Amino acid sequence: MNYYLDAIKRYVDFDWKATRKEYWMFVLINFLVSLVVGFVDWLIGTAWILSIAYGLFMFIPSIAIAVRRLHDTGRSGWWLLINLVPLIWFIWFFILMVLPSKENDLKNSEEKSENI
């Protein structure tokens, strides 16, 4: 849960790095929260208003953590735009997100996260 809350707290931070674990834990928890919000939406019959509000709320934090994950693999955050290419985006973006961290950069990332 800390990974999820950290991503929300650092939603405007596009400069640092995010490890694989940090990124995928955020994705998992975000998915589970989305399911719960969608279920609550369905129960009270609000025509997906809560789900849309949650999606808008999580839009920038999701982009920020994806950019930090790309930085951790040694790539520019602009690689996130690969999502605009039909059919190819999912496979290529998934591959980018599961690549290991760059060793030299990982030490710098750990030093920065200790200063938070």
State how many domains the chain has: 1
For 17, which DSSP code?
A: -
pLDDT of residue 85: 83
Whole-structure pTM value: 0.78
Please give the full DSSP string across 39-107, using - where no structure is assigned: HHHHHHT-TTHHHHHHHHHHHHHHHHHHHHHHHHTT--GGGGGGGGSTTTHHHHHHHHHHSPPPHHHHH
Q: Would you state the pLDDT for residue 111?
A: 52
Section 64-79 average pLDDT: 92
pLDDT at position 2: 87
More confident: 88 or 77: 77
Domain that holds residue 99: 2-114
